[in-house]
Amino acid sequence: MSALPIFPGTVDASGRPATLGVMGGGQLGRMFVHAAQRLGYFTAVLDPDPQSPAGLVSHHHIPFGYTDKQGLAQLAGMCAAVTTEFENVPASALQTLAESLPVAPGAAAVAIAQDRIQEKSHFTASAAESGVMAGVSCAPYAVIETPDQLQAVPADLLPGILKTARMGYDGKGQMRVNNAAELAAAWAELEGVACVLEKLLPLKAECSVIVARGWDGRIVSFPPQRNVHVDGILAVTEVYEGNMPSALAARAQAATETIANHIGYVGVLCVEFFLIDDGSEHGALVVNEMAPRPHNSGHYTMDACDVSQFDLQVHAMAGLPLPAPRQHSKAIMLNLLGDVWFDAQGEARTPDWQAVLALPGAHLHLYGKTDARPGRKMGHLTITGADVAGVKAVARQAAAILSLPGFEAA
């Protein structure tokens, strides 16, 4: 087992440089690799895709599947610690790696995030043991794993959203149902897999909080991010003081820290919340789901904060100090999907980057993917500035240039 902390720029007894590994080769892995390399670490990526965005920029790319014994042995043999860039890496693979080196987040935490049933149980347990989460709960829900459970669903949970317990993200594996007949049909369409039915609530807004927690239990947090989704995929993130009521922002931040502490989490964790209309002045918070990794809504941290979510991912896994991040600029992040590469008639086009890059405070990040497809995350654009009105104005210009949906900042 590697000793912590793992300092950058060091070599082991065999002369091998300190190397950090990541399971997964997508854009989150790519940004992790860049952050690790900036500190002087070597990096290794395990991903079966020979053209994976992270693999193309890493010192080492191990082109094997996530459960391949040879690939896992290679990764463990060259790395001092390993992390993951997406939640669907098999927890068993992380457990195998943890037998010989530090793995953050651990298999148990990732397994919770992979199963909505476990996830909701964890949220409920976290709230029960901490007064910090008072007033922050899950949406009313029912577990559906058997026909008997389907028949026993309370009528007051409908209308609702039926979600598969596993392998659901970016709106996948989710179906809206209005009554018992639609629920039965939807469950059949999902082939009777384990599901969770969540009561449909009056949604006012969505937000997320990103924290980093170290091996020693120290935890630091970014400010809450206000998010807009289109067709289940994040479209816009706004982060500045006043983006949501201060009392709710503080409550969301405290709840996220409680959720991380409850399972002794190590690494970067994002928790998503719904802001619902409960008749009160500002509404109430409902915890939706967690992601055991950096998150799309935190990409703005690379340009608007003195330390990014990827910097903290490196620090946490390597046992380095966790500095409290400071946001130095107001920020709006616009997600760039493959749709941007097509015009209204569906014809391929090159986005007008010249116009975008001429905008003040514009920071363009493309992920090195050569095949643009509708719905595929190709990059993001962060607009930063000293005042909210100016940032919103520039973001509106960018959204118009790129024909981006979902941007309604005034």
Q: What angle do CA 7, 72, 6 make, to 5 degrees?
A: 5
Which parts are annotated binding residues for ATP?
A: 116, 163, 168-174, 198-201, 206, 229, 288-289
Pairing mode, if any, of strands 81-84 and 19-23? parallel
Return all residues near 199 (Cβ < 8 A) that are at least 6 apart: 139, 140, 141, 156, 157, 158, 159, 160
> Distance between CA atoms of 42 and 311, rounded to whole angstroms?
15
The residue assigned the tokens 């690790």 is 36
Q: What angle do CA 226, 231, 232 make, to 5 degrees?
A: 55
Does residue 155 sit in helix, strand or coil?
A: helix
Provide DSSP, 324-336: PP-B-SEEEEEEE
| Integer CA distances (angstroms), 242 to 2, 235, 245, 273, in order | 44, 20, 6, 17
Paired with 334 in beta bridges are 236, 381
Neighbours of 310 (CB within 10 A): 25
| Integer CA distances (angstroms), 405 to 61, 236, 332, 378, 393, in order | 36, 9, 14, 15, 16
Amino acid present at 59 = H
Q: Find how far residue 37's CA is from the centre of its chain.
A: 21
Which parts are annotated binding residues?
A: 116, 163, 168-174, 198-201, 206, 229, 288-289
Pairing mode, if any, of strands 219-221 and 60-62? unpaired
